[in-house]
């Protein structure tokens, strides 16, 4: 996959560590802060400032279900 993800907010069914593991097993990388190198922001409930920053940089936001579909789970 080779993409960089940031997770923000509370995901509906996955714990943050589970989401990170799924991304890493699919060949992605998870970081804690948004930057121009971020490919996707995985957004849960109450996302906070990371969503605003991602939108300002034009970074695509994904829901938990979109993330799971992307990695084939």
**Using one digit for the tens of pLDDT, what is the confidence trace for 16-57?**
999 999 999 999 999 999 999 999 999 999 998 999 999 999
**pLDDT over 80 at 73, yes or no:** no
Using alpha carbons only, what angle is made at residue 57 by residues 23 and 29, rounded to the nearest 5 degrees? 15
| Residues with Cβ within 8 Å of residue 56, at least 6 apart in sequence | none
**pLDDT over 80 at 1, yes or no:** no
């Amino acid at each position: 996959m080779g993409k960089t993800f940031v997770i923000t907010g509370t995901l509906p069914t996955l714990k943050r560590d589970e989401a990170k593991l799924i991304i890493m097993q699919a060949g992605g990388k998870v970081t804690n802060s948004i930057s121009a190198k971020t490919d996707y922001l995985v957004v849960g409930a109450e996302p906070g400032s990371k969503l605003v920053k991602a939108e300002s940089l034009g970074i695509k936001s994904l829901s938990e279900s979109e993330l799971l579909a992307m990695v084939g789970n």
